[in-house]
A and B are shown apart, each in its own frame.
Chain A
Amino acid sequence: MKKKKNLTMLLSFCIGAALFMSTAFADVVSKTGYDQLKDAIKKTVASVSEEYDSFTMEMALSIKDNDKVLVANSEIARYDMANSRMENITTSELAGSEKESFYSYRDNWCSMYYNSNDADTYYVNEYESEDKDAVTLNNFFEDEDAEYIEKIFDALIGNLKEYVIVGENPEGSKEFSGRLSDGQIPALVNAVTAYAAKQSVFDRTVGYNEFDMPSLKNDVFVKEISGRANVNADGIIENLFGEFILAGSEKDGTKHELKVELVFKVYNINSTAVVKPDLTGKKVEKSIVHTTPYGYVSEKYLGKWKNDIIIEENDRFVKIGERVIEITGINDDYVYGTYTEIYKEEYAHYGSDSKKYSLKVDMYDNKGELEVTDDLGNVIVGYMYLDMGRIECYIPSENPAEDGIVFNSSDDIIYNSSFYKVFEE
């Protein structure tokens, strides 16, 4: 009898465990519509940024106020990665102003720009040297923080994931759709979204008046969020449509419904051709862009740079010497130099413990990171930027204020990190 009871309990426990394990496993393995959509978005971004030779992307954004169009913006971007060419046609329409369209073209050697409202002039930039990164798209999912942000986002929306409904077609393509109406949007999501919209748009007076954006002050809430997307058999989003309705009223009580619509399309994959426009016979304004492989750093920075060492004495600034940086070498990755301080004889005691440093600036991996080595071989890290006609150099051990605030002590040297070129005249 007792055995039978124990057996029953064991059996019951095992059934529970089996039920739990199998469904939990199924649940972990199963992909919700949300997960599949996320995969499709990642795959699309990865494919356009890394895989495809050419494609056309179309994006459109419009904002309507009670069905009156406030903003309509659309963009067609053609990418020919194989030949490093892209062009972009943007049309923008703001309520109360003329429709505008922009055309731009870019390859490794030149960029062109054309505005329909600007007297048919083509602005052309020609590059002195080839810019190999001119036509690229970044895969932002490969960012360091992307995974982290994704996790937090997933956790925050929780069971809202279930609002993404997926339908599969026999040939492998999928249709996604989802709709959240006001009752279904969690209060927190509603509040945060509405607050963000209010802060960034309605509570600002500058910039939005030109197209009659109503200023919603009261009872602002997210009325509906909906979207749908078609994903082809390769898992690439062919088109995506999103809609967002924000409702609220102005100070005088006028009610508004702002509808934001977003469209995204990818097509002509591997069959998009971009041709450099032929500008013969057109009005062209051309400029040459000087480029060096590493931006603005060139041999023009070689030589001596200095600033004055100054103290405050009897309510006056007094120069007691000079800081001197000599740039001795520049190569692809690094800039080399030395740092010395020269004191006037009567103030020589200030320089009693002044050091000579050798400097090495990383121009490539960690732009501006400065490796400072003193006579004894000790290394500290500061920074140095090569600005136009000026060098910003910061060596932490030379800044007396670093150890605490000592502004009022009259004996203290006033720190200055800007250096100016010494010209031999």
Chain B
Amino acid sequence: METVLEISGLTKLYKNGRGIFDINLNIYKGDVFGFLGPNGAGKTTAMKIMTGLMLPDSGDVKIFGHSVLTEFEKAMNKVGCIIETAESYPYLSPYENLKLFARFYDDIDNSRIDEVLELTGILKFKNEKVKNFSLGMKQRLGIAAAILSKPELIILDEPLNGLDVEGMIEMRKLIKMLAENERTTFFISSHLIHDVELTCNRIGILYNGKVVNVDTTENILKNFASLENYFVSEVGKNGNV
């Protein structure tokens, strides 16, 4: 199995004592990895380090064998991501936003931009200024930006934020589609247990800054009635819920 993402000994402490401690994780090609944990567990911190927004105190993250600390451009070349919130330049249209991002990659032409806008369902708004968009539409644009370069790894931090039920279903469909058709690897964080159960095929639980357990969804559902029971059991071993 080809390792896509390799996190080793990742540690980042904040002044208030929170943070992440010695995280080790391997994500393999074809994984739709669910990074599950309550709010404040350190999911976003870990993901910010993975995408170069933050520097770790120690440890390293390698994507496709390249360290994000020393070979950032190579590491990020086949990565698409949304971290914390899907941001875009409000004074530009979705099309113009994507046009800016496209410049960082080879072979992303205008038809690809239309394609991702179509996939995320905002093609008809492509020339409107983003500042008038709802949170859900901005989230869709964020997804479009993340998948624009046909990345082999997509890192999504709470991708369902701000989406309505219909949007959530479409989003899940999109992830499934990309995972199946393009063999895209996903790293998705969420605090929504049910959502992770439906979308992901491997699940890691982050609790109080530490990775508690990693297993496939299949294995978990063999032993537990639902992911929720598994979560409660695993967290229970490591303290109280």
Contact = CB atoms under 8 A, between A and B. Distances in A.
Interface string A1-45: 110000000000000000000000000000000000000000000
Interface in B65-84: 69-70
A1 B69 CA distance: 9
Nearest to B67: A1
Contacts of A1: 69-70
Nearest to A2: B69
A6 to B, nearest CB: 12
B62 to A, nearest CB: 13
B130 to A, nearest CB: 35
A1 B70 CA distance: 7
A153 to B, nearest CB: 49
A1 B72 CA distance: 13
Contacts of B69: 1-2
Nearest to A5: B70
Contacts of B70: 1
Interface residues of B, number: 2
A160 B38 CA distance: 69
Contacts, number: 3
A8 B88 CA distance: 34
B71 to A, nearest CB: 10
Interface string B150-163: 00000000000000
Nearest to B70: A1
B49 to A, nearest CB: 14
A342 to B, nearest CB: 88
B213 to A, nearest CB: 32
Interface string B179-207: 00000000000000000000000000000
Contacts of A2: 69
A155 B25 CA distance: 65
Interface string B47-75: 00000000000000000000001100000
B67 to A, nearest CB: 8
A160 to B, nearest CB: 44
A2 B70 CA distance: 8
A2 to B, nearest CB: 7
A4 to B, nearest CB: 10
A37 to B, nearest CB: 56
A343 to B, nearest CB: 87
A396 to B, nearest CB: 69
Interface string B21-64: 00000000000000000000000000000000000000000000
B239 to A, nearest CB: 34
B56 to A, nearest CB: 11
A1 B55 CA distance: 13
B74 to A, nearest CB: 14
A2 B69 CA distance: 8
A212 B69 CA distance: 84
A1 B67 CA distance: 11
B72 to A, nearest CB: 12
Nearest to A1: B70
A96 to B, nearest CB: 75
A224 B184 CA distance: 76
B65 to A, nearest CB: 16
A89 to B, nearest CB: 80
B143 to A, nearest CB: 33
Nearest to B55: A2
A151 to B, nearest CB: 48
A320 to B, nearest CB: 86
A2 B58 CA distance: 11
A401 B95 CA distance: 82
Nearest to A4: B70
B68 to A, nearest CB: 12
A164 B158 CA distance: 69
A2 B59 CA distance: 12
B55 to A, nearest CB: 8
Interface in B106-140: none
A1 B66 CA distance: 14
3 contacts: A1-B69, A1-B70, A2-B69
Interface of B: 69-70
3 tightest A-B CB contacts, nearest first: A1-B70, A1-B69, A2-B69
